[in-house]
Structure 1
Amino acid sequence: MISSVLRWFRRPDLTDEQQRRLSLWRALPAVSAHQAIKATRCVVVDVETSGLNLWEDRLISIGAVAVVNGKIELGDSFYIVLQQEIVSEKENILLHGIGGAAQAEGVPAADALLAFLAFLQKDPLIAFHVTFDQTMIVRAISKYLGFSFKQPWSDMAYVMPALNPELAARFRSLDDWIAHFDIRNDARHNALADALVTAQLFQVGASQASGRNIADFAALRDLEKAQRWVSEVG
């Protein structure tokens, strides 16, 4: 038990080049949460993992796409597979399609995560069911880069019910919402494809929010927090 705790708190050994890349990201200025969504860059993210256990399973891939000034920028997207020492189970591979060879030959975790941070910059993050994506990324960054990642996130799984209360009781999954708004996903459980459809859902939500004078990321997060409270009380 003591040895496992020590491994958890042990700082990773980064090369000078990796330290330089991390320092460059740390030095980037923070983005104001009060900047209008239509005048900022948000990064929509999705991950694939070795399973659904937040504390034991491993991050396998990250997919992300930028929404810049309200528009999806397909040329401003990101996808990476993290190298795995032990590849995931066959059933897991059948789900996300990242085979054993692709996992074994992926990008070393520290370099993959530094590449993700370089893509992200200090922009706000969007996801569907944030807790899972956020926890897996935070855990990996802590383990391989040695710091606590505290970027702001907004969760479309709460924003959309808040904006569409008449649908909240029936629509729970990402598939429910994208089907309702005729958003196609031809590669479900691919991190980049799922990030892209979540970005389209974010566009729908941002347009609806604008009609309610909810125009910036801070107000969107306030809406999300209110919906979380409603969900817990309900």
Structure 2
Amino acid sequence: MINALTRFLRQSPAHPRAASLQKRFEAWRALPAANSRQTVRDSRIVVLDVETSGLNLRKDRLIAIGAVAIVQGRIMLNDTFDIVLRQEQVSSKSNILIHGIAGGKQRSGTEPADALMQFLEYIGPDPLLAFHVAFDQTMLEKSMKTWLQTDLRKRPWIDLAYLAPALYREQALSHRTLDDWMQLFHIHNQRRHDAVADALATAELFLCLNKKCEQLGKYTLDSLYTAERQYRTLIAQ
């Protein structure tokens, strides 16, 4: 039986490494799931951020992915990911002014199927973390479906936009954006809206929040998911 990725690649004769891409995809899919009962200090967590052609989840496109790994409670600067997906149509000038990825760099980026496969290999089976997960996840899912005929829906995510106010209720109303929380914890980001720089700032924020988690006896990944879900339920009431 031919799976969806195989059918897609057979319809893409311009892709020079279809067989290799298929093999890499199958190897990634065969990886065992991460153990959510592990402590944060025993885990590898991938913190990510994306840059897009705009904020419209239906019409806009994924341009770049940046990520950094937290391993055993430490940010690993030698374990980062930074890639620009090749664009057939360059984003608007106003959009380029935000993320700084020039038209030439967008046109010469990595073929999207290859770029997304490299991202899957980078994250492996590990949990993902972002600030306002819904946007990053939706843009990634849309690109994954288009280019690799797969998704990340079953992958656990930690959303700091909910975890932060869950831990610091007194700041919940006044602190809503990543910049708000960065300011509270004195986190500096000289390259705001650069995917890797924003991922690094998000990782720093997570480590600040994790100190509070440990003080409350929340050491495992499951405990973080629970705290986040409980806060989502609370504000939805």
Alignment-mate amino acid for residue 199 of structure 2: A
Q: CA deviation at 1:78?
A: 0.4
Paired residue secondary structure (2:106): helix
After superposition, the C-alpha distances for 1:98-132 in whole angstroms (9 at most, x for unaligned) are: 01000000000000000001110010000000000
Q: Does the CA contact (< 8 Å) of 1:35 and 1:216 recur in 2?
A: yes
- Matched residue, 1:88: 91
Residue ranges of structure 2 left out of the alignment (5+ in a row):
1-5, 11-17
Matches within 5 A, 1:128-147: 128-147=131-150
Please name the residue that 2:13 is paired with.
none
1:17-28 superposed matches below 5 A: 17-28=20-31
User: Does structure 2 conserve the Cα–Cα contact (< 8 Å) formed by 1:142 and 1:149?
Assistant: no
Equivalent in the alignment of 1:166: 170
* Cα distance in 1 for residues equivalent to 2:8 and 2:172: 43
Judge conservation of contact 1:11–1:146 (CA < 8 Å) in 2. Answer: no
Which residues in structure 2 correspond to 1:82-161 (within 5 Å)? Answer: 82-150=85-153, 151-161=155-165
Given the alignment of the two structures, is residue 230 of structure 1 paired with residue 234 of structure 2, yes or no? yes
Alignment RMSD: 1.4
Taking a change above 3 Å as real, the CA distance of residues 101 and 167 of structure 1, as seen in their structure-2 partners, is: same
Task: Single out whichever of 189-198 and 134-143 deviates more from structure 2.
Answer: 134-143
State the 4+ residue runs in structure 1 displaced beyond 6 angstroms: none
Contact 1:49–1:57, Cα closer than 8 Å, also in 2: yes
Deviations 1:147-169 (A, max 9, x none): 12221101000000000001001
1:13 aligns with 2:9: yes
State how far apart, in whole Å, the 1-side matches of 2:97 and 2:220 are: 39
Contact 1:46 1:64 (8 Å CA) reproduced: yes
> Which has the higher mean CA deviation after the structures are superposed, 139-148 or 70-79?
139-148
Q: How far apart, CA to CA, are the structure 1 residues paired with 2:167 and 2:216?
A: 9
Q: TM-score, normalised by structure 2?
A: 0.92
Say if 1:12 and 1:143, in contact at 8 Å, map to a contact too: no
2:46 is matched with which residue?
A: 43
Unmatched 5+ stretches in structure 1: 1-9
Q: What do residues 161-181 of structure 1 show as CA deviations (whole Å, max 9, x unaligned)?
A: 000001001000000000110
Q: TM-score, normalised by structure 1?
A: 0.94
Equivalenced residues, count: 225
CA distance in 2, matches of 1:205, 1:217: 13
Q: Structure 1 vs Structure 2: percent identity of aligned residues?
A: 47
Counterpart-to-counterpart distance in 2, 1:22 and 1:157: 31
